[in-house]
Amino acid sequence: MRLADPILGLIAVAAVLLSWRWPGRAAAGRAALRFSDLTPMSGSSPRARRRAWTLGMMRTAALLLLAIALARPQSEKRLDEITTEGIDIMLALDISSSMGAEDFKPKNRVAVAKEVVGNFVRGLQNDRVGLVVFAKQSFTQCPLTLDYGVLLNFLEKVDIGLIEDSTAIGMAIATSTDRLKDSAARSKVIVLLTDGENNAGMIDPLTAAQAATAFGIRIHAIGVGSPEGALMPYDHPLFGRQYARVVTKVDEKSLKEISSTTGGRFFMATDRTALQKIYKEIWRMEKTRFKVNEYQKYRELFPIFLLPALLLLGAEFILSQTVWLKLP
C-alpha cells in the first residue's frame, strides 16, 4: 500500500493534534451564563466525564480516519506483459556410472544434480520443460510439459543403472533436439549436464549440435566433477561395499564447441554451490532475452477510511445533541 498525498495527510494529522488544545482555550475565554456561586457545579459526575471522554474519542478517531483518507491510501498491483510464448527447455542428464562419484559431498554427483534440477524446475512459470537421461543410449524420461509435478516424479525415479554404462552425449543432444524441433516457442533450450566425454552412440556431439542450431535451439553445457577425481563406491563380491578413486575428465573442448556453435554457454561445476549458481545463471540469461512491459495499477482505498469517519462524526453529533446533550 502507498499514500498518494502524504503531505495533505500530515497536514490533516497536525490539525487533529491542534484540535486537542484549541477548543479548550477558546471555551475558557467565554461564558454563556453567569452565576454568583459556582460551588454546586464545581464537580461533575463520573457518568458525565465518561460521556465527554467518549464523545472526544469518537471525534478524534473520526478526524484521524479523515486524515488517512485525505492522504489517499492506494493498493498497488503490478502487471507484467511478456511478449513471448515462453521457453521450452529440455534437461539432458548424464546417469553413467561415473556420476556415482562422491565429490559433491555429502552425496554423489547424480543425487546432487537431481536436487538442483528439481529446484530449477520448481522455479519455472508458464514454461514447458522435459527430461532426457543418457548413458550408453538416451531416452526421453518426460516429454515437454507444464505439469512440473509430473516431471519431478519422473526425475525422482532417475538413477544410475537404468541404462547400460557409457556416455553418449551426441545421442542425448539428438534426442533432446527431436523433442524441441517442432516447438512453436520463441526460445528453445537444451541444458546438458555430464561428467565425461562422448564414448558411445552413433551421432557425434558436434554434428548433433549443428542439427540443433538448424532448428533454432541453444545448448548450455555443464561439466561436473573435481579435477583431482573422487571416490566412487562399488560392491566387491567378498568384501562388500568398497571405494575406489576415479578421475573422470570432462571434455571441456568439445562441450565449449557444442555450446558456442548453438549460441549457448559452457559452465564447469566442481561442487553443489557452483551447480546451483549455474542453473540460476542460465535461467537469468534466458529470461533477459524477452522484452517485458511493466504496468502499475492502483486501487483507491480512501473510502475504507472515509465511511467510518463520517459514521463516527454523525454518531458524535447526534449523541452530543440528543441523549448526551450538555447545557452551557
Of 150, 132, 143, 122, whose CA–CA distance to 191 is shortest? 132
Of 274, 223, 278, 272, whose CA–CA distance to 251 is shortest? 223
Task: Please give the pLDDT value at position 112.
Answer: 95
Average pLDDT over residues 36-49: 58
Please give the Cα distance from 174 to 169 (Å, whole number).
9
216: left (phi over 0), alpha (psi -120 to 50) or beta: left
Task: Please give the pLDDT value at position 24.
Answer: 46
Q: Which CATH architecture has domain 84-290?
A: 3-Layer(aba) Sandwich (3.40)
Write out pLDDT tens, residues 99-140: 998 888 778 999 999 999 999 999 988 899 999 999 999 999
Lowest mean pLDDT among 9-23, 42-56, 116-130, 298-312: 9-23
Average pLDDT over residues 186-204: 93
Mean pLDDT rounded to a whole number for the chain: 81
Range ranked top by mean pLDDT from 60-64, 124-128, 273-277, 318-322: 273-277
For the chain, the domains span 1-23+48-80+295-328, 84-290
Tell which wins on pLDDT, 111 or 45.
Answer: 111
Model confidence, pTM: 0.63
* 200 band by pLDDT with thresholds 50, 70 and 90: very high
Residue 164's Cβ-side half-sphere holds a number of Cα atoms within 13 Å equal to 5
* 29 band by pLDDT with thresholds 50, 70 and 90: very low
Tell which wins on pLDDT, 98 or 130.
Answer: 130
Write out pLDDT tens, residues 256-287: 999 999 999 999 999 899 999 999 999 888 87
Task: Please give the pLDDT value at position 296.
Answer: 61
Q: Which 8-state DSSP code applies to residue 58?
A: H
Whether 25 shows a pLDDT value over 60: the answer reads: no
What angle separates helix 252-262 from helix 205-214, to the nearest 10 degrees? 10
